[in-house]
Chains A and B, each alone.
Chain A
């Protein structure tokens, strides 16, 4: 009797847990962490779901991992920001269309004491050279995310070899943007952040923006639909509805009006890609 009762209880629990998702169609969006951590998706998704009746389940992972998740067939759509890795994904035949939806920029943030004396500049590469020369602590994501890839490209332009990036001042934390900012704040270190996550981050401590406005710091966000030839099992129709909405005037307006503390985080750019 106890067994029957516990089985019934269990069945009730499982039904209750799954009730929320069973009601409507849903897709899995694998995304970079910045569009979730900055609050953008939480802000625009309710509007889309109300209009289209499609729930978007966001798995925020960082671009490298998101692309891998899609390669394995575990996502229906991608929202990412690493042009080189995305190109490779398309070349492998996993994607069908790739469209830019928005851009913002990266900033180099660091402690207000500014041990490498780079504050207020625009030249990101010169700043990294100065940080390396001063051996000032620098936190790297180290997680194959889009921001991590952008950071490594800048270090390459700054003439730093991978060996130099194994020295003690260079701290590879293998984590998300927020973790990197937490670490930089705790260690008085510099780090590269996307502006969206930086603006909405609440534990800045003594961190301030050191470098901004360099054209090399542009950060482009693309939506990638998957190829039906390689990913027949994915929910491609629902994914297309959401991708089309993101580049539509409505979606673009939703992205462009999102603000944190009165500041715009993402510039819609579907009409004129940067």
Chain B
């Protein structure tokens, strides 16, 4: 019983850890890019924004398959031996998180830039210097964007099962464990894991949403 509990906690911990890591990497990539897309006009920007929004719906199983072929020992990055490791899962989920976070950050940045852009520039800032300032202005929206990225990653199964391999004690997450329990006909255990997954997702969302609400209030006080 004790080992079962330990294994269960490991699975929950791995799920959250992998998704947190992927969301963090995803945010580090998406925040500057999303804002830059709103500030710098260039040829083809419209098309790029449309593409990023379209990648919202990137099917996880296809992302998993492509990464599987890239990370396979006979693939281009095979020498890194990343297939069937948590790192491979983080990479796959990052690919899934980036379009969502970028698109949401871009939308918020566009609004903020339309309102405060001239002001920032006339204060003597270059456009590059304006990026962190815009991000400051939209920080409440950033929480929503990052949360959306986390929600996308923690709940998906198609990509992690392909590149992670659902290895017990190493790459088994809540979603792949649910798939496995279902395949063993243990529907009650699968359902229990599902309830935990739903519970964790909801409480993280609620916490972050509450924090964002506070930040928004504090923000309006400052301005």
Contacts and interface: CB of A to CB of B under 8 A. Distances in A.
B168 A58 contact: yes
A237 interface: no
B175 to A, nearest CB: 16
A260 to B, nearest CB: 11
Range, interface on chain B: 35 or more
A204 B184 CA distance: 10
A197 to B, nearest CB: 8
B25 A18 contact: no
A72 B20 CA distance: 31
Contacts of A175: 183
Contact of A14 (B90, B170, B182, B187): B90
A9 B28 CA distance: 12
B24 A9 contact: yes
Contacts of B182: 178-179, 182
Nearest to A38: B184
Contacts of A181: 185
Interface of A is mostly: helix
Given A10-B25, A21-B85, A59-B167, A203 B17 contact: no
A42 B14 contact: no
Contacts of A213: none
Contact of A202 (B72, B75, B166, B186): B186
B84 interface: yes
Contacts of B17: 13, 16-17
B60 interface: no
Contacts of B75: 72
Interface residues of A, number: 39
A6 B24 contact: yes
B77 to A, nearest CB: 12
A73 B73 contact: yes
B184 A17 contact: no
A72 B184 contact: no
Contacts of A201: 184-185
A57 B28 CA distance: 32
Interface in A47-67: 55, 57-60
Given A13-B24, A203-B185, A203-B187, 10 more contacts: A6-B24, A6-B27, A18-B85, A28-B165, A42-B168, A72-B72, A72-B73, A74-B83, A74-B84, A182-B185
Interface of A: 3, 6-7, 9-10, 13-14, 16-18, 20-21, 28, 33, 37, 42, 55, 57-60, 72-74, 175-179, 181-182, 185, 200-204, 233-234
27 contacts: A3-B28, A6-B24, A10-B21, A10-B25, A13-B20, A13-B21, A17-B21, A17-B90, A18-B85, A21-B85, A21-B170, A28-B165, A58-B167, A58-B168, A60-B166, A72-B72, A73-B72, A74-B72, A182-B185, A185-B185, A200-B184, A202-B185, A202-B187, A203-B186, A204-B185, A233-B78, A234-B73
